[in-house]
Amino acid sequence: MKFRNVRLFLFGLIAVAGMTTGCATMEGLGKDIKKAGEQLEEAADKN
């Protein structure tokens, strides 16, 4: 998966999560997704 596709995928996850959850939980979920994105970026950099 290309780096750009990973970012689009994560953005899509955030958008879907925003539609299905309230604002309070969305902030926490956004942080979790951001963390996962950073881990994916690190893994992509290693490869």
How far is the C-alpha of 34 from the C-alpha of 47, rounded, in Å? Answer: 20
CA 8/CA 47 separation, integer angstroms: 20
Give the domain ranges of the chain.
Answer: 3-46
pLDDT for the residue numbered 22? 60
pLDDT given for residue 34 in this prediction: 84
13-39 pLDDT per residue, tens: 777 776 665 655 667 777 888 888 888
Look at residue 33 in the predicted model and tell me its pLDDT: 80
DSSP letter at 1? -
User: 17 near 33, Cβ under 8 Å?
Assistant: yes
| Model pTM above 0.75 | no
Rounded CA-CA distance 11/16 in Å is 9
Pick the more confident residue, 42 or 2.
Answer: 42
- The token pair at 2 is 């290309």
